[in-house]
C-alpha cells in the first residue's frame, strides 16, 4: 500500500553520494538531494541550473528515500537551489523514519519547514533570511568575496543562537580557487568566534 506522503513529489536536480565538502561535517559520508528552485539568485552561484523549478523532473518521496537508504550514508543532505521553497516536513520525516540522519543546507530565504538533525544556514544579501530560520541554525556559513561581507557576517551572527558554530567561507572564484584566504585569516585572528570553511570537495576534485 502506497502512503499519500510517499507519493508526494519534489523537483530534483540531482542526487549523488559523496563526501560533505564544507563546514563542520566536512569529509563525512553524505547522500545529497538537490532540489530545484531558487529565487535568491546569487551572482556567483555555481548551481544556476537549479534555479527554475519547472526544468527538473519530479521524484516521489518514496523514490528519494529508497535512493538514500541504498547508499547507506552517514547523513542525507537536502540542498538546492533553495530547498525551503518547498514544504520539507514530509521528506525529512520520511527519511528520519528510515533511521537516516538528515541535514539541511539553506539560505533561509523562506519560512522554515522540516525536522532536521543539523541545519546549515548560509544567508545571502541578495535575499535575506526569513525570521523563522535563525533559531534552527546549528551552523552559520557566510560566503566571503570581499571585506564588506564581513560586516554582513556580524549582523547575521547576532541573529542566530549563541552556540551556533560560525564559519567564513571564501567564494570560490574570487578567493577560494586562488587560495587567497588572507582577509579571512586576518579577520579570524581578531575574531575568535569564527572559523574558516573551505570547499574541500572542489579542492580534492569530487562532487
pLDDT, position 203: 83
| HSE-up of residue 149 (Cα within 13 Å, Cβ side) | 20
pLDDT, position 3: 63
pLDDT, position 28: 98
pLDDT, position 24: 97
| C-beta separation of 105 from 79 below 8 A | yes
pLDDT, position 1: 43
| C-beta separation of 121 from 101 below 8 A | no
Per-residue pLDDT of the chain (207 residues; tens, 9 = 90+): 456 577 899 999 999 999 999 999 999 999 999 999 999 998 888 888 899 988 899 999 999 999 999 999 999 999 999 999 999 999 999 999 999 999 999 999 999 999 999 999 999 998 999 999 999 999 999 999 889 999 999 999 999 999 999 999 998 776 655 666 788 999 999 999 999 998 888 888 888
pLDDT, position 90: 97
Amino acid at each position: 500500500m502506497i502512503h499519500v506522503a510517499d507519493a508526494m513529489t519534489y523537483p530534483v536536480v540531482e542526487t549523488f553520494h559523496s563526501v560533505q565538502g564544507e563546514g563542520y561535517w566536512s569529509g563525512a559520508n553524505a547522500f545529497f538531494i538537490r532540489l530545484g528552485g531558487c529565487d535568491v539568485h546569487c551572482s556567483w552561484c555555481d548551481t544556476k541550473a537549479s534555479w527554475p523549478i519547472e526544468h527538473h523532473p519530479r521524484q516521489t518521496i518514496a523514490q528519494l528515500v529508497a535512493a538514500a537508504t541504498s547508499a547507506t550514508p552517514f547523513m542525507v543532505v537536502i540542498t538546492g537551489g533553495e530547498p525551503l521553497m518547498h514544504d520539507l516536513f514530509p521528506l525529512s520525516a520520511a527519511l528520519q523514519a528510515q533511521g537516516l540522519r538528515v541535514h539541511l543546507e539553506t539560505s533561509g530565504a523562506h519560512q522554515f519547514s522540516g525536522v532536521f538533525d543539523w541545519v546549515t544556514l548560509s544567508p545571502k544579501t541578495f535575499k535575506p533570511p526569513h525570521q523563522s530560520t535563525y533559531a534552527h541554525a546549528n551552523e552559520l556559513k557566510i560566503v566571503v568575496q570581499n571585506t564588506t561581507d564581513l560586516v554582513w557576517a556580524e549582523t547575521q551572527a547576532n541573529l542566530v543562537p549563541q552556540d551556533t558554530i560560525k564559519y567564513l567561507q571564501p567564494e570560490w572564484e574570487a578567493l577560494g580557487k586562488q587560495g587567497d584566504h588572507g582577509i579571512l585569516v586576518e579577520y579570524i585572528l581578531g575574531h575568535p568566534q569564527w572559523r574558516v570553511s573551505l570547499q574541500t570537495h572542489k579542492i580534492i576534485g569530487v562532487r
